[in-house]
Structure 1
Amino acid sequence: MGRITSSRSQLIGDPRHHSLLASKFINCLMLDGKKTTAQRVFYDALEEIGKRHEGEETPIEVFEAALENIKPYIEVRSKRVGGASYQVPMQVNKARQQSLAIRWILAAVRDKKGRPMALKLADELLAGFKKEGAAYTKRENTHRMADANKAFAHFAW
């Protein structure tokens, strides 16, 4: 169990939408302390989503729904029992769900090359909203792995 740091309580909403989730995402997107660059990429991606998405959802709602779709609910963890290691399926707590979803989205976006970051991010968020894309595939693989190892669930204590 991780320590609760003051960073959680110090997190304030992003300037435009006052969303803590968006602020957290921007902080994870940021490289080398360049927050304004990260904000510009994020807001450009939201604008791109606004242009491309046909529906009544606002871009920030699309972002939140995409993140919700990508969150894993169960994962496998290694457990040593009697000299053997088992992949034991376990529930994922809320904070870890969020951080994994953000990490997977950013990893998927950073793996794609040759286009501006905002466009790649918009693509991945729209794909996550539609329950497809690389980050969603990662989630599905995690769930599939947990399902395949259900036999070892009794080792979870």
Structure 2
Amino acid sequence: MRRHSAEKREIIPDPKYNSQLVGKFINMVMEKGKKSIAEHIVYGSLDLIKERVKEKDSLEVFTQAVDNVRPLIEVKSRRIGGATYQVPVEVKVERGQFIGMRWIRDFARSQKGKPMKEKLAQEIISAYKKEGSAIKKKDDTHRMAEANKAFAHYKW
């Protein structure tokens, strides 16, 4: 058993929208400590979203997209008596947001041929409309958990 759990660090809200979620996302997009470049990419993609989705504010679209992608259950491997089972486990809201944002970032990065802010904007808009790669990944995760519901009693 572990002695200490790591204390939660306070995430500083971003300067433009004063949102902790956008601040976390900027930190997630950041590579090699280059925060100003990450801010430029994220703010650029939010500006593109504002142009493309006229009916709502870009921050609302982003929060809704993250919420749409956020998984509610996931599977964790649990080894019992020489066999490894995929045990479905509920996901806390904070972890769900983290996973959702990571999926959006990774699928945006995997596209080729466009600047990152365009790819990010496209991925966020498709997640907002409940389509695209990140939503498919969420559905696959839920389907996997549903298929392994029989092992739910191995929860710890």
Using the size of structure 1 for normalisation, the TM-score is: 0.93
Once residues 134 and 97 of structure 2 are traced to their aligned partners in structure 1, the CA distance between those partners, rounded to angstroms, is: 13
The residue number in structure 2 matching 1:89 is 88
Cα deviation for residue 5 of structure 1 reads 3.5
In structure 2, stretches of 5+ residues that fail to align are none
Percent identity over the alignment? 46
**What residue identity is the alignment partner of 1:18?**
N
Instruction: Map Cα deviations across residues 24-67 of structure 1 (whole Å, 9 max, x no partner).
Output: 00011011111111111111101110111132x20011000000
Once residues 148 and 54 of structure 2 are traced to their aligned partners in structure 1, the CA distance between those partners, rounded to angstroms, is: 39
Once residues 91 and 4 of structure 1 are traced to their aligned partners in structure 2, the CA distance between those partners, rounded to angstroms, is: 21
Using the size of structure 2 for normalisation, the TM-score is: 0.93
In structure 1, stretches of 5+ residues that fail to align are none
Once residues 65 and 14 of structure 2 are traced to their aligned partners in structure 1, the CA distance between those partners, rounded to angstroms, is: 18
Q: CA RMSD in A?
A: 1.5
The residue number in structure 1 matching 2:6 is 4
Tell whether 2:121 aligns with 1:122.
Answer: yes
Once residues 26 and 128 of structure 2 are traced to their aligned partners in structure 1, the CA distance between those partners, rounded to angstroms, is: 18
The residue number in structure 1 matching 2:65 is 66
The residue number in structure 2 matching 1:35 is 35
Once residues 145 and 54 of structure 1 are traced to their aligned partners in structure 2, the CA distance between those partners, rounded to angstroms, is: 36
Secondary structure, aligned partner of 2:44: helix
